[in-house]
Chains A and B, each alone.
Chain A
Amino acid sequence: MAYLELQNLHRDFGTNKALDGIEIQLGEGEFLSLLGPSGCGKTTALRLVAGFDRPDQGRIVVDGKDVTRVAPNKRDMGMVFQAYSLFPNMTAHQNVEFGLRIRGKDRTDRRKRVDDLLELVGLGHAGTRYPHQLSGGMQQRVALARALAIEPRVLLLDEPLSALDAKVRVQLREEIRRIQLELGITTLYVTHDQEEALSVSDHVAVMYRGRIEQMGSPAEMYTAPATPFVAEFIGTMNRLEATVVDPSTGTIETGGVTLTVEAAKGKPRGARVLVLIRPETVEVAAANGAGANTMTGEVLTHTFLGPVTRLRIVNDKSSLIADMPTARAAALPPGSKVDAALPATEARLLDLTDEALPQIAEEPSPAGP
């Protein structure tokens, strides 16, 4: 039975549909990331769960109880905010202790719990420091300890790492996951960083225009995107618009090139489809005469990404990207004629509707599981 349920949640701000009927079911102790671009409704959903806003329609159920109309101070939700939210007039110790004081906990119990939590987040030595004496990362650790102190029913994290630098972000997200697993606390995490979401979550829900496009495990989201938007948002994907030529063999035609794709088998002849191919599955070699499932083109650019280098390959009619080990990429400098072999089995296929394909402003980072 689901521990946290968001049932048909709607929230409008004027004419803008911030949430358009989202449904989420999360088991006890599970970690769900709400992932999506700015304005997709993920923070709105989190604020509804926290009680800072009310839905226009729908219900929020925690452990079988409807909390939709319950005031935020009575929900027992621990929250870590995007902005530094520690009370400036209190030390780290007093900040963590605040919720326990409100609950009238005994002084000895309070002290023990605060000490334990500060130890848990690695700040046992910093209890007497004020927020302005702590770094951004330390402040967010204290905020996490403060949220955990009240033993919340659900832990809510609203882009808690977005203000931190890259190295601290990676370190802290791993700690959040470690602590979440250690305490077995049900967690809802909002982020626009797909790498962050994929690396720490049990489940990821990709949101777009107030709806959940797809929800599943990180691996599912990466390997089997259900919509063009998810395909574009999670990791990096080649998207080739194609037409089904022969459904019996899975043959499709894109940009003057004929390809065989397993997923195209059984599709109606003449159907318009979107072929999704991960750059790391494209095999690139010096041009040697077009083989099967091969697109011939010229290397336009190299993008160094550490262990791999990303090649953009173009010909008259199409363009695709391929990742290859950096050591091998040096042999194919920009301007080289190459053959890019596309995988027949690993390509995904989506039916193309008349709806315009979503465009994501920034190319998502290449990293992923």
Chain B
Amino acid sequence: MRPTRRIAPTAVIWLLIAFGYFFIPLIATFLFSLKSNQTGHCCTAANYSWVVHSSAFWHTLKISFLLALETIAISLALFVPTIYWVHLRVPKLRPVIAFLALIPFVIPPIVMVVGLLKFFKGTPSWFYAQPWGFLAGAYVILAFPYMFFSLDAGFRSIDVHTLTEASQSLGARWGTTLVKVILPNIRSAALAGSFLTLAIVMGEFTIANLSAFNTFPIFIQYVNESQGFPAASLTLLSFGITWAAMLSLLVVGRKRGQRAAVVAGAR
């Protein structure tokens, strides 16, 4: 007979504290978002209606979302082959790249954006004046640590050398090996890096603000300053969007992740 599992009273207390820490602000924000912007009384869905009917909401959301996709695409295109090559041919470089990846954590965004603006001053306007150029470039740098450490963990969980050589001995070229053999086996890592990047870009304020681009976080800040109750509904909506993205990572990556875990465990 299985012994009955009892949860220790202290564990219950800690769980309640953790629950309160995470959910009380959310509940408060939700209650706040239900108040009328005109009367200040509860309860109305008008703030949510205002947000979803705001063209600026959809416009800035679209810009930030597309920027996130662009950042993810550039980051994957840059870092997957680089990290693959480093693991395969120059493993001694790995600590150097890991150190470089820490730099965006160390340098404050405000310092970085000033430096970048000065550095790229004079570049063509299709790059400097467009979010798809300058801002995407800055976000690739910002996302570098998240993308690098996710991918690096993915590459370390597989036997890159043996898989590559096995693929080559069967006649595959480098490109085929990367796409058909390596990428599917670091899929979870690439997804993790991608969604971290998505979350960062969707919430990045400093660089966008200082370089005068109108992104989703700028819109949130604008609403927050001008209208209190709709700002709460907007905050919850952006929170929901981020969580939806994370959830999709879990759903998409679950099967592959389980398989990779079994393979890694078998080694």
Contacts and interface: CB of A to CB of B under 8 A. Distances in A.
Are the chains A and B members of one assembly? yes
Contact of A146 (B165, B170, B173, B267): B170
Contacts of B259: 88-89, 130, 132
B263 A102 contact: no
B123 interface: no
Nearest to B187: A89
A207 interface: no
B263 A131 contact: yes
Tell me what chain B mostly uses at the interface: helix, strand, loop, or mixed: helix
B162 A83 contact: yes
A52 B162 CA distance: 11
A98 B170 contact: yes
B263 A88 contact: yes
A187 to B, nearest CB: 14
Interface stretch (A73-81, A229-237, A316-324, A338-346): A73-81
A319 B256 CA distance: 60
A297 interface: no
Nearest to A133: B262
Interface size class of B (residues with CB under 8 A): 20 to 34
Nearest to B260: A88
Contact of B168 (A72, A103, A131, A156): A72
A98 B185 contact: no
Interface of B: 158-159, 162-163, 165-173, 176, 180-181, 184-185, 187, 256, 259-260, 262-263, 266-267
* 5 closest residue pairs by CB, A with B: A99-B170, A89-B184, A85-B166, A132-B262, A79-B169
17 contacts: A72-B168, A73-B168, A73-B173, A75-B169, A78-B170, A81-B162, A83-B162, A84-B266, A85-B163, A87-B167, A87-B181, A88-B158, A88-B263, A98-B170, A102-B170, A102-B176, A103-B171
Interface of A: 50-52, 71-79, 81, 83-89, 98-99, 102-103, 130-132, 143, 146-147, 150, 156
Given A84-B267, A147-B170, 12 more contacts: A50-B169, A51-B168, A72-B169, A73-B172, A79-B165, A84-B266, A87-B185, A88-B260, A98-B172, A103-B171, A132-B263, A143-B166
